[in-house]
């Protein structure tokens, strides 16, 4: 079902946060810099300690080994990390070099030759699109997206938005999307929450 539920979640920046993201739904999060948006996403991905609970299809994150949880609840940070010389070396987990995988690359604006590129030739925007590809190879049920298009030009913003829309529709994935762009939120989000005090309030 891919339904994410938080129950009284508290991070070091605030809470309690109690909300749900339904199968195939996109929920936007906004708020000023430093209010705790990234910390909330990291807590949901079980990367930082937090009080309260997070449930995926009724199963608590406390009942699932952290690496398994993070494959199902995938976090895309605002700045991706790259540690080897070439792009393809970052896909250490065996992945199917199938037509579908290469179609994903193409939909994100790349040809398969990108796997042989050196990391140093990539722009910030190219790194971000490739980080999204890398994340989705795990086929997560939930996407936690921290400003995934902030470094992209208009054309590539459209590519990423279309790609994520297709993925959440086809996979039934729940999406929590941090954005500062009101127009993007209007295009992409079914619901919108903004940080207010130590919690969240719905934006009508």
Question: Residues 81-115: pLDDT tens digits?
Answer: 999 999 988 876 555 566 677 888 999 999 989 98
Nearest-5° angle of CA 64, CA 70, CA 74? Answer: 140
The model's pLDDT over 153-165, given as tens digits with 9 standing for 90+, comes to 999 999 999 999 9
State residue 93's pLDDT score.
57
Q: How far is CA 22 from the centre of its chain?
A: 15
- The torsion defined by the Cα of 153, 188, 150 and 54, in degrees rounded to 10, comes to -150
Q: Which two tokens stand for residue 136?
A: 């989705």
Q: What is the per-residue burial (b if ≥16 Cβ within 10 Å, else e) of 98-131?
A: eeebeebbebbbbeeebbebebeebeebbbbbbb
Predicted structure pTM score: 0.94
Task: Spell out the domains of the chain, with CATH numbers in brackets.
Answer: 4-85+138-202 (3.40.50.300)
Among the ranges given (45-49, 52-56, 129-133, 195-199), the one the predictor scored with the smallest mean pLDDT: 195-199
C-alpha to C-alpha distance for 133 and 110, rounded to whole angstroms: 11
pLDDT band at 73, cuts 50/70/90? Answer: very high
Q: State yes or no: pLDDT of 125 exceeds 70.
A: yes
Average pLDDT, the chain: 91
Q: State yes or no: pLDDT of 1 exceeds 70.
A: no
**Residue 129 bridge partners (DSSP):** none
> Which whole-number Å values give the CA distances from 38 to 10, 29, 88, 128, in the listed order?
13, 10, 27, 16
Among the ranges given (55-69, 95-109, 182-196), the one the predictor scored with the smallest mean pLDDT: 95-109
| Mean pLDDT in residue range 42-52 | 93
| Mean pLDDT in residue range 24-33 | 94
State residue 199's pLDDT score.
86
Q: Give the list of residues 6+ apart from residue 81 with CB closer than 8 angstroms, or none.
A: none
Provide the H-helix boundaries in the chain: 37-44, 66-72, 99-107, 124-136, 154-171, 182-188
């Amino acid at each position: 079902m891919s339904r994410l539920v938080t129950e009284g979640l508290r991070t070091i920046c605030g809470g309690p946060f109690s909300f749900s993201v339904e199968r195939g739904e996109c929920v936007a999060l906004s708020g000023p810099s430093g209010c705790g948006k990234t910390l909330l996403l990291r807590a949901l991905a079980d990367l930082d300690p937090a009080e309260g609970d997070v449930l995926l299809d009724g199963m608590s994150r406390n009942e699932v080994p952290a690496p398994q949880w993070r494959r199902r609840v995938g976090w895309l940070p605002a700045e991706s990390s790259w540690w080897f010389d070439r792009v393809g070396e970052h896909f250490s987990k065996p992945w199917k070099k199938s037509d579908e995988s290469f179609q994903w690359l193409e939909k994100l604006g790349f040809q398969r030759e990108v796997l042989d590129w050196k990391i140093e030739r990539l722009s910030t925007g190219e790194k971000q699109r490739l980080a999204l590809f890398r994340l989705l190879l795990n086929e997560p049920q939930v996407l936690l997206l921290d400003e995934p298009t902030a470094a992209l030009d208009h054309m590539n913003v459209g590519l990423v938005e279309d790609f994520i829309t297709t993925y959440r529709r086809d996979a039934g994935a729940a999406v929590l999307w941090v954005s500062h762009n009101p127009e993007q939120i209007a295009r992409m989000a079914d619901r919108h929450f903004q940080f207010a005090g130590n919690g969240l309030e719905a934006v009508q």
